[in-house]
Amino acid sequence: MIKIGMMIGDRYEILEKIGTGGMSDVYKAKDHKLNRFVAVKVLKQEFSENANFVSKFRIEAQAAAGLMHPNIVNVYDVGEEGENHYIVMELVEGITLKKYIEKKARLSVKEAVSIAIQVSMGIEAAHNNHIIHRDIKPQNIIISKEGKVKVTDFGIAKAATSNTITSNVMGSVHYTSPEQARGGYSDEKSDIYSLGVTMFEMLTGRVPFNGETTVAIAIKHIQEEFPSPREYVAEIPVCVEQIVAKCCQKSPDRRYQSMSELIVDLKQSLISPDEDFVKVVDPDEEASTRMITDRDMAQIKRQSESRDSMDEAMRLKKDVRDTVHVYDDDEDEEDEDWEDDEEDYDPKMEKITTILAVVAALLIGCVLVFLVGKTMGVFSFGGARSDENQETEETEQVEMIRVVGMHVDEAKRELLELELVPEIKYEENSSYDAGTVLRASVQDGLMIDKGTTIVLTVAEAEEGVQVPDVTGKSREEATSVLEKEGFVVNVVESPDSAVEKGLVISQSPEAQTTATMGSSITIRVSQGAEDNKVRVPDVVGMTEEDAIVNLTESGLSVGNVTETTHEDANLTDKVCYQSYSVGSYVDKGTPVDLRISTGPAQKTYRYSEGITAPTEDSDYQSGMQVAVTLTTQDGTQLLSTQTSSFPVAVNYTGIKSASGTIRFTFTVVTEETTITDPETGESTTQGGESQLKTVERQVNFVEE
């Protein structure tokens, strides 16, 4: 079980939990070996004993390993410790695209296209390495604080081979392609479809298909026409609408055939948003039978005169004679007759064809005589050879194994066993242990000839730099010396009566040891004798009055006191923040700023779904005039309208209630019926009355 503060893999210190998923938890950790923060994804305890889950978890690491790209969350390490299976990844500080869309309701066209370009570049890198993601969705796209977009979570990714990929695994149903929904066929164009759905959501703030069950949504992806984003946001340019439409074609052959094609159109839409440049190719039209024109036939005839192939000449003559009559520019237009075969007879062509036929017959005869003579032993070159030696030996082939992630010695041994020739080249890489195979010149799974040379790129440890001795130097001098050697300097201050104020007391790593260039060196700088400093007390959780008394008694003063919200309700009307850390030493009389909590911030919600027709009542008929109201739980009315067209698009933010009620009111007129009494023969008419119907629907809002 993972606990905060524990160390795994003898190098990763778990600091805090930052996320959770269906199969795993994600923690922020510090890599003490390389002195950097990382994200550690750990398989949940309940799945660690299940071989299928463990295998799926490892597939994620294997799929993403070796993918080094600015728009992909890089995988650094994978391992297990006891019952804990973990993957070490790049730590990206930011939010998911899903939360970003919810926060902004919908994105501007320029921002959505810019994000789509970065996502496409990351997926393109994966496709170039024969990796299909198969679960592209806003939840698996992270936007960093610097605005960098990165694709993550290759949990159901699969390596593409020459064979068709088939799998029953399907990503999130709102973003799944029709072929995945049908049962598993997926390739690079499935990722393109899912990216198109993601673009649709960025532009409109909603998914294209929704339903009560995952099966219902999947069927819509297969059967229903993909909606246009311009139905919801009219200002979307036509070219962007067409890009989304081309990505989300039902047939993979009609989509973009590669991410590079999509990137070209996305960039063009930023440069020329008003142009109509997107071309949707219909493979049925491309392969359809087309009638040959007179101009085409004339061109074919002119080209045939320059060809010396007998077969081409004979085929052309047959086509010209039996199929089409070609207009001759030398003939008088008044005398031409397109129905007369004799007009197309060419004596010159007849003579050329006859000569070519004779020459071809002679050549074929010579070749046959030579082959028969060689077989019978009449022709001999270089001495007689046995039949066995004349037979061409077929080169044996083997399947290339996966060597990425192996130690180079193990990889060499396994390649040699397959009778392949390993060739090693080294590359400095601090992200992997020295000797780890980073990539191979041949993709695993391919059939190759025995004896093929396989170039392995192997991680080589970066040469260390000797750490200089800076103890006793001033803070400024020590920092300058260390930075000159290529180190990053961290400064920690503490009181020390034996060392003059401002001088370095100690350093870590110690002097004369070896450290990687670019790693951090921590220096401890003296604040002078402790008698001249005051230790900052802990006043968080106290009332303002008690905090002031405590700070004053400690020899400090109170700075600015402000009010703020705080998520911990227990700190309401109490100090929730102090400007100096507890236990640190500062000069006497230093002012300490305080913040007093006014309680948790008021949560607000948003609602941007389309309101569908009141089909809960069987008397409702499409086209009826319906009064629609939307009222929050606290009684605030957000919508009051009448319409006969559904769905009704709404977009409300800043709602203070978590739920609300949609009320539909409409009038139903019953049909008149005539009833005849069989005994008296009297007829009475019933019905034809108007009846007011009301339908109520409970809805939950999304927290902002």
Name residue 696's beta-bridge partners: 663
Helix axes 109-128, 259-271, angle to 10 degrees: 160
CA distance 192 to 142: 18
User: Which of 296, 309, 303, 302 is closest to 352 using CA atoms?
Assistant: 309
Among residues 1, 18, 23, which one has the least CA distance to residue 155?
A: 23
**Calpha distance 188→167 (Å, rounded):** 14
The position carrying tokens 């309701």 is 105
By DSSP bridging, strand 557-564 and strand 591-597 are parallel
CA distance 20 to 313: 72
Kindly state the tokens that stand for 431: 């992200």
Q: Which of 666, 664, 636, 637 is nearest to 648 (CA)?
A: 664
Q: How many residues are there in the chain?
A: 704
Please report, as a single letter, which amino acid is at residue 91.
L
| ω into 647 cis (within 30 of 0) | yes
SS3 268: helix
State the chain's maximal CA–CA distance in angstroms. 123
Given the DSSP bridges, would you call strands 585-587 and 36-43 parallel, antiparallel or unpaired? Answer: unpaired
Whether the bond between 509 and the residue before it is cis, its omega within 30 degrees of 0, is yes
DSSP string over 278-341: -----HHHHTS--PPPHHHHHHHHHHHTT---HHHHHHHHHHHHHT--PPPTTS-GGG--TT-G
From the number of C-beta atoms within 10 Å of its C-beta (0-12, 13-18, 19+), residue 547 rates as buried
Catalytic annotation, pick one of 10, 31, 77, 135:
135
Rg of the Cα atoms in the chain = 38
Contact 634, 622 (CB under 8 A): no
Say how far apart CA 527 and CA 584 lie, in whole Å: 11
Residue with tokens 């008044």: 334
Distance CA 204, CA 104 (A): 11
- Retrieve residue 480's tokens: 């300058």
Q: Which residues contact 187 (CB under 8 A, 6 or more apart)?
A: 132, 160, 164, 165, 252
* Cβ atoms of 165 and 187 closer than 8 Å: yes
Which own/partner contact pairs does 645-651 have at CB distance under 8 Å and 24+ positions apart?
646/610, 646/611, 646/612, 646/613, 647/610, 647/611, 647/612, 647/613, 648/610, 648/611, 649/232, 649/610, 650/607, 650/608, 650/609, 650/610, 650/611, 651/105, 651/205, 651/606, 651/607, 651/608
Q: Which two tokens stand for residue 572?
A: 């309401």
Half-sphere exposure of 301 (CA within 13 A, CB side): 22
Q: 429 vs 410, 424, 619, 659, CA distance in Å?
A: 19, 15, 70, 53
What Å distances lie between residue 268 and 113, 147, 243, 275, 313, CA to CA?
Answer: 10, 21, 11, 9, 46
Q: Which are the contacts of 482, defined by CB distance < 8 A and separation ≥ 6?
A: 467, 468, 470, 489, 521, 523
Assess whether 135 carries a catalytic annotation: yes
Q: Which residues are catalytic?
A: 135
